[in-house]
Amino acid sequence: MIKLARVAFVSLLCLVSGMAQAQDSSQSSMFKLGKNLDIQYSILRNIASSYVDTVDFDKMIPAGIEAMLQSLDPYTTYIAEAEEEDFALMTTGIYGGVGSTIKKRPNEGVLIFEPYENSPILKAGLQPGDTIIAIDGIPVYGETSEQSSSRMKGQPGTDVTFKVIKGRTGDTLDVVVTRERIHVSDIAYSGIIRDSIGYVRVSGFTDKVSDEFRSSFLDLRKRGISRLVIDLRDNGGGIMDEAIKMLSFFVPKGTLVVSSKGRNEQMNQEYRTKDEPIDTEIPLLVMVNSSSASASEIFAGAIQDLDRGIIAGRRTFGKGLIQSVITTPYDGKVKITTGKYYTPSGRCVQALDYSHRNEDGSVGFIPDSLKKEFRTAGGRSVYDGGGITPDIEAEAHIYSRPAYSLVYNDILGEYSIRYFKSHPEIAPAEDFRLSDAEYDEFVKFAEKKEFDSRGGAAAYLDQLVSAAKLDGLYDTYKTEIEALKKKIETDKRTMLLTKKDEIRPLLEEEIAVKYYCLKAGEVIRLRDDDQLFKALDKWPDRIIE
């Protein structure tokens, strides 16, 4: 009994000691927080009273908050009241406005660039290439693109008056446009591609996208599809519940599709499908790439873990963090990372760390020693470490430096407006092709513009020259270097003609969108989608084992 009592006493001491340590830890943490807040307040108070120049605290404090939050992770951010409209657009895809992307340069008018289908802009008779020079009587010259865009937006049902120079005629007139509730759909395109395969491109997971996807899928089923491609490439994510609803169309009701774990107990949850499925048998192929993130990875990871379909493309971005939105004083919001998502097999798609990433931010190289093996429902091996690794690896086309530069410098977009002004109509997007003569007209236009027309060899040679100069070797090898430079240097016209097969489809896409809106661009992209066709060629009749 004495020995038992001694053990009990020691256990009680350990328990009390543990509770005291936990309390001390909590008190220590709160003391450090209070201490640093006092220091911060003291510094700000002294800046306010003593700094030599006037301080704009409305700029300085948010910058400090942003820097503080970025030290935690890239996704914990502060959303000020002024950014509320942009945040709402990100989550709902809805805003009040006139429905068009615009282009604006300093001291120039607002160019109507790509109106949305059935938008107020089009209903009012405005077209790509028309230039707005005043909004409600106030000139736009001197405004930034954001300032002009803000004045174009407003409550649905209200009018805005544009003074416009028409692109095709040069006439100046006043046009009244009635703002509407603009919904930017995340179903970028749906249709049937080769061999009765249905195809739906989902560009994001904003509110109600699952309803739109359902309608698209049911329409494709009526048209007799035998397989379905769900394209999540470049889909940066959005609302997790929308991804779960989309998953519910393809797996039995009550299926575990994702779970979450966090510091607080309420973050530890399992998420199961709540609705009866539409089709649990149709073969699925989910296309992903390094820009597929968050909710896209939840969807792709569940499809893979449940052996419900094949994942194809490139490894996904690797963002498996949960952000909770909390209201702050003065109508701001802070988006705080409060947990991590896990696929049905138990994998976390979050990258192991933020420091080893590729240039595009996606997951970098992960040593095998750091990966952990998991099993799908059918017993296949899958691994964590960051992102979802496809079952079918399919490389995307790597565009040349000149092609990227033409896009980056908006030379393709600029020419597409010029083309629209001089061509009243074109063939439907499915049939639209630029003739050799028309492409040559573009070449004449583009060779007068500033863009990087170097090929890869010329770019590497420039790096070699710089390195040689740093090492003091350039003068030694100058004759050989200059001779090589003459051999591989190419003028703009020659490079544009050499890369014709690559550049022409990009230009056709830009032009088609001006006539038939955004979905026309998807039609032309699909026509030349090598990555998709590679995946289709490798798509097996059953799940890969």
Do 258 and 282 fall within a single domain? yes
Domain boundary among 393, 415, 438: 393
Q: Residue 166's CB: how many other CB atoms inside 10 A? A: 17
Domain boundary among 393, 422, 437: 393
Look at residue 421 and tell me if it is in a domain.
yes
Do 242 and 271 fall within a single domain? yes
Mean pLDDT calculated for residue range 18-43 = 70
Entry pTM: 0.83
Structure tokens at 163: 């003074």
Answer yes or no: is pLDDT of 18 > 50: no
More confident residue, 95 or 433: 433
Do 122 and 250 fall within a single domain? no
Give the number of domains in the chain.
4
Look at residue 470 and tell me if it is in a domain.
no
Do 169 and 283 fall within a single domain? no
More confident residue, 350 or 516: 516
pLDDT score, position 1: 42
More confident residue, 66 or 508: 508
Look at residue 83 and tell me if it is in a domain.
no
Domain boundary among 358, 377, 393: 393
Do 237 and 154 fall within a single domain? no
pLDDT band (50, 70, 90) for residue 114: very high
3-state secondary structure 365-425: CCCHHHCCEEECCCCCEEECCCCCCCCEECCCCCCCHHHHHHHHCCHHHHHHHHHHHHCCC
Beta bridge partners of 192: 198
Look at residue 5 and tell me if it is in a domain.
no
Do 283 and 222 fall within a single domain? yes
Each residue's pLDDT tens digit, 177-204: 999 999 889 999 999 998 899 999 999 9
Do 363 and 296 fall within a single domain? yes
Look at residue 477 and tell me if it is in a domain.
no
Structure tokens at 462: 């420039």
Look at residue 274 and tell me if it is in a domain.
yes
Each residue's pLDDT tens digit, 402-458: 999 999 999 999 999 999 999 999 999 999 999 999 999 999 999 999 998 887 777
pLDDT score, position 321: 83
Do 315 and 248 fall within a single domain? yes
Look at residue 24 and tell me if it is in a domain.
no
Do 228 and 153 fall within a single domain? no
Answer yes or no: is pLDDT of 2 > 80: no
pLDDT score, position 252: 98
Answer yes or no: is pLDDT of 22 > 50: no
Answer yes or no: is pLDDT of 111 > 90: yes
Look at residue 475 and tell me if it is in a domain.
no
Do 326 and 279 fall within a single domain? yes
Task: Give, to the nearest 10 degrees, the angle between helix 209-222 and helix 240-248.
Answer: 20
Q: Residue 20's CB: how many other CB atoms inside 10 A? A: 10
Answer yes or no: is pLDDT of 123 > 50: yes
Answer yes or no: is pLDDT of 8 > 90: no
Do 269 and 352 fall within a single domain? yes
pLDDT score, position 392: 97
Answer yes or no: is pLDDT of 13 > 70: no
Query: Residue 227 belongs to what domain range?
Result: 187-393
pLDDT band (50, 70, 90) for residue 531: very high
Do 192 and 172 fall within a single domain? no
Task: 132-139: list long-range contacts, CB under 8 Å, 24+ apart.
Answer: 132/102, 132/162, 132/163, 132/164, 133/109, 133/163, 133/164, 133/165, 133/172, 134/162, 134/163, 135/110, 135/160, 135/161, 135/162, 136/160, 136/161, 137/161, 137/163
Instruction: Tell which residue, 236, 230, 238, has the closest CA to residue 309.
Output: 230
